[in-house]
Amino acid sequence: MRAIHRVSIALRIAFFVIPMAIVSIIRTVLRARSRGLDIKVAIRNGIVKSFMANLLPQQLQSLLPSGYTVFERWIAEKQVSMKEKPESSTDILQDGVSKLFWVGCRGLGSNVVLFLHGGGYVLPLSKGHLEWADYFRRVGALAGQQICVALLDYSLCPEATYPKQMQQAVLALERLVSLGYSPSQIVIGGDSAGGHLSLSLLSHLMHQYPDDKFPALRLSTPLSGCFLVSPLLSLDLDTPSYRENQHADLLSIPVIQDWGEDLFKGSQFVNEKQNGKGWGMALSSDKVWWSRLGEIVKRVYLVSGGEELFRDHIIEFGERLKVADGVDVSVHINMEEAHDGTFMDFEIGASPSRSTVRLGDWVVESLELSNQESS
């Protein structure tokens, strides 16, 4: 069976991925030239888009190492390449399946970032996410802040569907609180699907999800902050940015449709959406859903690429959040970037971009402000 599976993947790559990659690269390069954008980034986006569009989720997962394997390899590489590797450990959460991978010193004297990785709920944790986590640790140290990062290794689609990942995110935050971290010491956030999951977590904290498997987590104070890089906010695919950027972004409309169907298959999402509930999609909620956000988190940082499909949804959601009392909302549109530009830079080992530096500074600033208020 394994041999047949490998042959099937090889045939798909030969007859679908490579031809589409050629077409995608030509389109993205021509667009990049006309707009003065980075040609190498355009080529990279065209290749990534072709693999995601032409391989099934199970095939992509079979080609990629698990999150645990990626974490162990990354720590081993750091031990060889650095004089002092980051402290690391692994926690198994209450469901016995999901895990927290810790990067940095996890003592109660430190602050913590709960990082929810992207990948469309299909792709596992990647080396780029770990480099990103370590970047937070390092910029914190430069500013005199001790920051550790806990990365959630959640269950993937299509085997695990909504709301399983939301439950695991709640368990992850519950673990941090049970370890003694004050919410004011915690920043949560993520990229793409991880941004979506971060908002599902915030929704649960405001509006208890009606399922006995979900802990009724009550925070003593608001979280320090929440960062959202290219978050999935809606499955409405009819916006100007979807039309303008369909040949520029590394995401494609069929992938968003198919992976979205996999995520919500057999769930109550449609009923929730019809009733204005925002656990499944942030923009599917009614107007008052996010009105209590300031009770849950002090600051929110939204990032979109100007060249990505999600751009208009991110702008719309930012405007919706700005009317919530007690929360500071920042929205940044990086015009030269496509989807998840910060992660893609870390994945290929590029130097931190201006948008990445700005995000790192925001995380440090959020924790500094919380520490000042609590002292």
Is the model's pTM score more than 0.75?
yes
Backbone angles phi, psi at 275, to 5 degrees: -100, 15
**Domain residue ranges in the chain:** 1-63, 66-374
- What's the CATH class of domain 66-374? alpha beta
pLDDT digit string (tens) for the chain, length 375 residues: 566 678 788 889 988 889 998 999 999 888 888 888 888 888 989 999 999 999 999 999 999 999 999 999 999 998 877 666 678 899 999 999 999 999 998 887 789 999 999 999 999 999 999 999 999 999 999 999 999 999 999 999 999 999 999 999 999 999 999 999 999 999 999 999 999 999 999 999 999 999 999 988 999 999 999 999 999 999 999 999 999 999 899 999 999 999 999 999 999 999 999 999 999 999 999 989 999 999 999 999 999 999 999 999 999 999 999 999 999 999 999 999 999 999 999 999 999 999 999 999 999 999 999 888 876
Q: Are 335 and 315 in contact (CB under 8 A)?
A: no
